[in-house]
Amino acid sequence: MTSRSPDTHRPLSYALLVHGAPYGHQAALSALRFARALAQRGHRVATVFFYHDGVHNASTLMSPPQDELSLQAGWRELHAQQGSALLVCVAAGLRRGLLDEAEAARHGKPAANVEPPFELTGLGQLVDAMFSHDRLLTFAP
């Protein structure tokens, strides 16, 4: 007979690292579906970090057909339901034309296409998530 520790079934805190662009690869959709499944099991996705082409998930300019899932709306819903931080690598975002109001002003650009709850941030936030959450899962092409 083996004994279980009392916290065996405690809810876990997850961080997701998304490398895949929306609609260009299955990675972003898989990450969103995984996050929803975790919530159904009582766990929490505390942080989603978008990196490389995954930063495109934060673009307010995406306009999928009405009969298709809006991944950006799905991420916003995750934030609203679980309070998940939606962090976008600032360096990867700037390279790919994703700017919030502050970065657009700093670089002299006429518009921004990243709005809250998405937040441009550095890799340090990813490192913090690696150490502060129970699990980190990567979704990449």
Q: Is residue 2 part of a domain?
A: no
Q: Is residue 17 part of a domain?
A: yes
pLDDT (0 to 100) of residue 4: 46
Question: Residue 7, CB half-sphere, CA atoms under 13 Å: how many?
Answer: 3
pLDDT tens-place string over residues 1-59: 444 444 557 899 999 999 999 998 899 999 999 999 999 999 999 999 999 999 999 99
pLDDT (0 to 100) of residue 10: 87
Q: In what order do the strands lie in the sheet with 118-121?
A: 118-121, 85-89, 44-50, 13-18, 135-139
pLDDT tens-place string over residues 65-124: 999 889 999 999 999 999 999 999 999 999 999 999 999 999 999 999 999 999 999 999
Catalytic residue among 89, 90, 92, 99: 89
* Model pTM score: 0.91
The CB-based long-range contact list for 80-84 (8 Å cut-off, 24+ gap) reads 80/117, 81/39, 82/35, 82/39, 82/44, 82/45, 82/46, 83/46, 84/35, 84/44, 84/45, 84/46, 84/47, 84/48
Task: Examine the residue annotation and report whether 89 is marked as an active-site residue of this protein.
Answer: yes
pLDDT (0 to 100) of residue 8: 59
Q: Is residue 46 part of a domain?
A: yes
Q: Is residue 91 part of a domain?
A: yes
Q: Is residue 7 part of a domain?
A: no
